[in-house]
Chains A and B, each alone.
Chain A
Amino acid sequence: MVIMIRKFVSSKWMILAVIGMALFVLLTVSIWRISSLAQTEPEIAPRLVLKLGYCGVDMDALCILSFGRDVDGNTVVNLFVPGRDFPDFYLIASRVTGDYLYECSRSVNVPTSVYCVGSALNLNERVEFSIFSQEDDRLLARGGLVLKAFLISAPGMETGTEITATETATETATATDPESGDETATPLPTGYPNDP
């Protein structure tokens, strides 16, 4: 018994014990993280209706990245979809004038990228978006938004703040379309730059 205790308090065993405890903590946190991410998968929690809102900096759940338009004036809704196994879906926009179907297309190369196209939406209009599974028309997610501007990325993407589904876009999001290729913009350093 004494020998066992001496062996245990020797530096080698102490180090192993500390490492083992640290690993146990990390493992527990990881398992918690994986299970919490799994909650965003409707396959695993079939009765859970996800909350749909604007994306923040940390994209873990289904969220809206941006709004745009196509050549026919339709509204394009760009979404982030968590996980490869998220079912194919379609979008219904519930407006004052009725419900409108948006057809959704998923990127073959990056399964977390989906965009949906449907009838044009109006500025300052409150819209409730519902996402339904294409396979069995099951409600997967729902969220209400007031559209303050088009062609602006989700506010949280720039400011790093979390935006909930019911929040309205802030005034900063109504700024003009971020100008790409601005003549006065500082050009990127050429040839494999370091961090800016």
Chain B
Amino acid sequence: MNPWLDGVGMLGYYSRTVLYLLLIVVWGMLIVYRFLEKRFGGHLNSTERLSLAMSGWIVPAMLWAGLYAGGTFLFGKAIGVTLSILVMLISLAFFSFKSIHVSSTSIALILLFVISLVLKFAFLKHATLPSYFDSAEHYRIIRYFIEPADDTLSSYYHTGFHILGAAFVSFFDLSVLDFMLAGGQFLLAILPLSLFLIVRHETDSIAAGLFAAVLAGFGWHMPAHLMNWGKYPALLSLVCISFVLNFAYLLYRKGSFKHQNSGNHLLLAAVVLVSAFIHTRSLIVYMMLAAAYLLTAWRTRIALKNQSLLFVLFVLLLELIVLQNDAALRTLLDGYINKDGWTLILLIALTPFAMKEFPNLTFFLLASLSFFVAGLFVPVHLPTAGVLTLLDRPYVQMLAYLPLSILSGLGLAGLIRFMQRHISVSTMSVRVALLVAFGIVLAHAVFRYDYYPSECCQIANRDDLALLTWINASLPPDGSILIAASPVNVTPFEQTEIHAGVDGGIWVAPLTSRQTVLAWERLDLASATVHAEICRRRLGYVYVGGMPQSFSTSQLEGNPAWYQQVFALPRAKLYQVTNCQ
């Protein structure tokens, strides 16, 4: 398997979707770039504006989606499309292309994006359908917003992501699956580049900025592993979080928080709202970042600055020890230790230099990470959802790459400064140090980074696709199908179990519009009681996928009087329930 060649092939396969994604994203980037130029002027150079625009595009894109969705809903698709095109063209009329200055660093960022895009798309070579059970639900909700005739959808969530998806699919007449698959990998390619700004601006080092961006893209299993979980709204919310973090940092550096600057504050508030619309948990993240900022500001006024830095590190280590002893949460740490050992060691080696040279931002990052982890242990009672926590393990596992990448960038810049200040080193020695740091990340990217879907989470296979096509063509529309399910635990407080589909059966309802029922417990299909219950619930069929937790074929085959095989491939089968009395 060659990630580069596979990525090129997949880019060709999804070329239309990628082109349209580029259209929207580049348009959004131009708007944001112009805004930053007007607002920050010489305070930001062109590359920093470009870097921030690589996450800031989400704001114009969401506004566009809202405009298109509203226009289409009220006046029809033709008006919606016309309005959208007009707004895009008019907004570009205010943009002066002469103001774009392409520096060599900007070219490096763009090149990094192109390389990243190709490599991320290798994932799609072996992605049959979007991964895990979340994806099927996201697909259903996007389809619901496009065609609200589906009255089986009783509730939806992460509305912002689904509206953006629906608008994109409807406007460009694309497939929802293509949007999810290609869109996810596109976001993974562009997201890390926005970290260049904060590190470059803080350290005045282009190399450190690029290092943080490269590390964010290829040094950790996150955020790429999110696509194995099918957590598309969470990934989109990361784009917002990245922008808010960078933008708030800029405002802080410009002193905007000390003075009345309603324009910038309003924009910040608007982005926070957009973010909440996409994923409500991002609000918790912003509160934690704000708390970390307040702590950092307080720290600058106290005498024990170094001690406070060590204290927050100590608190974080304590939290991680507690985490490791919890069955539901230890996966978070295991993910980084098992998958990202080399880059973790690099981070640990660089952190002292970050603490020495950039203590305030380092404190802020460590405090933020501490708050994120602490959020795993704070229960929240919601009437509709039961006991949750402020942040759940998958979300924190996803978030952690942000402070870790920035910290690594600060550490690298700190190391260079340390070498230049305390050791008489030549420029060549500094370059060697940079080469070693980048070399470790490159080695990790070549030998350890996983470009392809994980076995853990590809619950649908190609035999499922064939069976789904057969179901669509052959089964009556009111056919009801039992699909395998398993309890899902993500917090240490869960008492009521949430059940989720475990195999390709999860895609029956979204792709064929047949009704499905999740197995209510671990069912022994050889049992007469279970057969009677299946009949009582009027379930006409049983779906058997290719996962270890799928229903047992031997139980079904061993009871031909109750279950008749109607379609069978090695890893996907359908049985009709018979002899219901």
Binding site for B on A (CB under 8 A): 12, 16, 19, 23, 26, 29-30, 33-34, 37, 57-58, 60, 65-71, 76, 78, 80, 83-84, 105-110, 113-115, 151-153, 177-183, 185-196
> Are the CB atoms of B8 and A33 closer together than 8 Å?
yes
Residues of A within 8 A of B394 (CB): 191-192
Distance between A192 CB and nearest chain B CB, rounded to angstroms = 4
Q: A109-B175, A190-B488, A193-B457 are in contact. Are A180 and B393 (CB under 8 A)?
A: no
B470 contacts partner chain A, Cβ-Cβ < 8 Å: yes
> Are the CB atoms of A194 and B338 closer together than 8 Å?
yes
> Are the CB atoms of A71 and B221 closer together than 8 Å?
no
Distance between B229 CB and nearest chain A CB, rounded to angstroms = 5
Residue ID in chain A nearest B556 by CB atoms: A181
Which residue in B177, B331, B568 is a CB contact (below 8 Å) of A189?
A: B331
> Are the CB atoms of B546 and A68 closer together than 8 Å?
no
- Please measure, in the bound complex, the distance between the C-alpha atom of A110 and the C-alpha atom of B502, giving whole angstroms: 20
Residues of B within 8 A of A182 (CB): 548, 552, 554
B36 contacts partner chain A, Cβ-Cβ < 8 Å: no
Most chain-A CB neighbours within 10 Å: which of B125, B465, B487, B569? B569
**9-residue interface stretch from B51-59, B65-73, B271-279, B448-456:** B448-456
Residue ID in chain A nearest B575 by CB atoms: A71
Residue ID in chain A nearest B133 by CB atoms: A192
Give B552-581 as 1s and 0s: 1 = Cβ < 8 Å from A's Cβ atoms.
111100000000111111110000100000
Residues of B within 8 A of A30 (CB): 4-5, 8, 118
B9 contacts partner chain A, Cβ-Cβ < 8 Å: yes
B90 contacts partner chain A, Cβ-Cβ < 8 Å: no
> Are the CB atoms of B551 and A181 closer together than 8 Å?
yes
* Main SS at interface, chain A: loop
Residue ID in chain B nearest A12 by CB atoms: B104
> Are the CB atoms of B328 and A191 closer together than 8 Å?
yes
- Please measure, in the bound complex, the distance between the C-alpha atom of A60 and the C-alpha atom of B470, giving whole angstroms: 24
Residues of A within 8 A of B549 (CB): 181, 185, 187-188
- Please measure, in the bound complex, the distance between the C-alpha atom of A177 and the C-alpha atom of B544, giving whole angstroms: 13
* 8 Å CB interface, B304-361 against A: 328, 331, 334-335, 338-339
> Are the CB atoms of B456 and A113 closer together than 8 Å?
no
> Are the CB atoms of B490 and A68 closer together than 8 Å?
no
Residues of B within 8 A of A78 (CB): 462-463, 466, 569
- Please measure, in the bound complex, the distance between the C-alpha atom of A71 and the C-alpha atom of B578, giving whole angstroms: 13
Which residue in B339, B502, B571 is a CB contact (below 8 Å) of A153?
A: B571
- Please measure, in the bound complex, the distance between the C-alpha atom of A177 and the C-alpha atom of B229, giving whole angstroms: 28
> Are the CB atoms of A192 and B393 closer together than 8 Å?
yes
- Please measure, in the bound complex, the distance between the C-alpha atom of A153 and the C-alpha atom of B569, giving whole angstroms: 8
Give B34-59 as 1s and 0s: 1 = Cβ < 8 Å from A's Cβ atoms.
00000000000000000000000000
Distance between B111 CB and nearest chain A CB, rounded to angstroms = 7
- Please measure, in the bound complex, the distance between the C-alpha atom of A189 and the C-alpha atom of B335, giving whole angstroms: 13
Distance between B419 CB and nearest chain A CB, rounded to angstroms = 18
Q: A60-B9, A108-B472, A180-B553 are in contact. Are A71 and B548 (CB under 8 A)?
A: no
> Are the CB atoms of A68 and B545 closer together than 8 Å?
no
- Please measure, in the bound complex, the distance between the C-alpha atom of A179 and the C-alpha atom of B556, giving whole angstroms: 12
- Please measure, in the bound complex, the distance between the C-alpha atom of A116 and the C-alpha atom of B347, giving whole angstroms: 54
Residues of B within 8 A of A192 (CB): 132, 229, 231, 331, 393-394, 488, 490
B264 contacts partner chain A, Cβ-Cβ < 8 Å: no
Q: A37-B12, A181-B552, A191-B489 are in contact. Are A106 and B469 (CB under 8 A)?
A: yes
B129 contacts partner chain A, Cβ-Cβ < 8 Å: yes
Distance between B146 CB and nearest chain A CB, rounded to angstroms = 14
> Are the CB atoms of A76 and B567 closer together than 8 Å?
yes
Residue ID in chain B nearest A117 by CB atoms: B470
Give B120-154 as 1s and 0s: 1 = Cβ < 8 Å from A's Cβ atoms.
00000100110010000000000000000000000
Q: A70-B567, A181-B550, A181-B552 are in contact. Are A110 and B463 (CB under 8 A)?
A: no
Nearest first, the 6 closest Cβ-Cβ pairs linking A and B are A181-B552, A68-B569, A113-B465, A115-B466, A71-B566, A185-B548
- Please measure, in the bound complex, the distance between the C-alpha atom of A80 and the C-alpha atom of B502, giving whole angstroms: 24
Distance between A185 CB and nearest chain B CB, rounded to angstroms = 4
Distance between A23 CB and nearest chain B CB, rounded to angstroms = 7
Residues of A within 8 A of B546 (CB): 178, 180
Q: A180-B547, A180-B551, A182-B552 are in contact. Are A193 and B9 (CB under 8 A)?
A: no
Residues of B within 8 A of A80 (CB): 462
Which residue in B104, B231, B455, B486 is a CB contact (below 8 Å) of A187?
A: B486
Beyond A58-B1, A69-B565, A113-B466, 8 additional contacts (C-beta under 8 Å) are A68-B567, A71-B566, A80-B462, A105-B473, A115-B469, A185-B548, A188-B486, A188-B547
- Please measure, in the bound complex, the distance between the C-alpha atom of A83 and the C-alpha atom of B10, giving whole angstroms: 10
B13 contacts partner chain A, Cβ-Cβ < 8 Å: yes
Residues of B within 8 A of A189 (CB): 331, 456
> Are the CB atoms of B552 and A180 closer together than 8 Å?
yes
- Please measure, in the bound complex, the distance between the C-alpha atom of A57 and the C-alpha atom of B1, giving whole angstroms: 8
Q: A65-B463, A105-B470, A196-B456 are in contact. Are A187 and B548 (CB under 8 A)?
A: yes
Show 24 A/B contacts (Cβ-Cβ < 8 Å), sorted by A.
A29-B4, A29-B5, A66-B463, A69-B568, A78-B463, A105-B469, A105-B470, A106-B469, A108-B469, A109-B175, A109-B177, A110-B128, A113-B462, A113-B469, A114-B466, A180-B550, A181-B555, A183-B552, A185-B548, A187-B486, A188-B486, A191-B331, A194-B335, A195-B221
- Please measure, in the bound complex, the distance between the C-alpha atom of A151 and the C-alpha atom of B544, giving whole angstroms: 13
- Please measure, in the bound complex, the distance between the C-alpha atom of A100 and the C-alpha atom of B338, giving whole angstroms: 53
Residues of A within 8 A of B104 (CB): 12, 16
Distance between B552 CB and nearest chain A CB, rounded to angstroms = 4
- Please measure, in the bound complex, the distance between the C-alpha atom of A57 and the C-alpha atom of B552, giving whole angstroms: 27
Q: A65-B462, A71-B566 are in contact. Are A194 and B469 (CB under 8 A)?
A: no
> Are the CB atoms of A194 and B545 closer together than 8 Å?
no
Residues of B within 8 A of A195 (CB): 221, 225, 228, 338-339, 450, 454-456
> Are the CB atoms of B221 and A194 closer together than 8 Å?
yes
Residue ID in chain A nearest B431 by CB atoms: A11
> Are the CB atoms of A181 and B511 closer together than 8 Å?
no
B169 contacts partner chain A, Cβ-Cβ < 8 Å: no
B468 contacts partner chain A, Cβ-Cβ < 8 Å: yes
> Are the CB atoms of B175 and A151 closer together than 8 Å?
no
- Please measure, in the bound complex, the distance between the C-alpha atom of A67 and the C-alpha atom of B393, giving whole angstroms: 41
Which residue in A65, A109, A180, A190 is a CB contact (below 8 Å) of B544?
A: A180
- Please measure, in the bound complex, the distance between the C-alpha atom of A37 and the C-alpha atom of B13, giving whole angstroms: 10
B484 contacts partner chain A, Cβ-Cβ < 8 Å: yes
- Please measure, in the bound complex, the distance between the C-alpha atom of A152 and the C-alpha atom of B567, giving whole angstroms: 14
Distance between B284 CB and nearest chain A CB, rounded to angstroms = 18
> Are the CB atoms of A180 and B567 closer together than 8 Å?
no
Residues of A within 8 A of B565 (CB): 69, 71
Distance between B279 CB and nearest chain A CB, rounded to angstroms = 15
- Please measure, in the bound complex, the distance between the C-alpha atom of A164 and the C-alpha atom of B470, giving whole angstroms: 28
Most chain-B CB neighbours within 10 Å: which of A58, A78, A152? A78
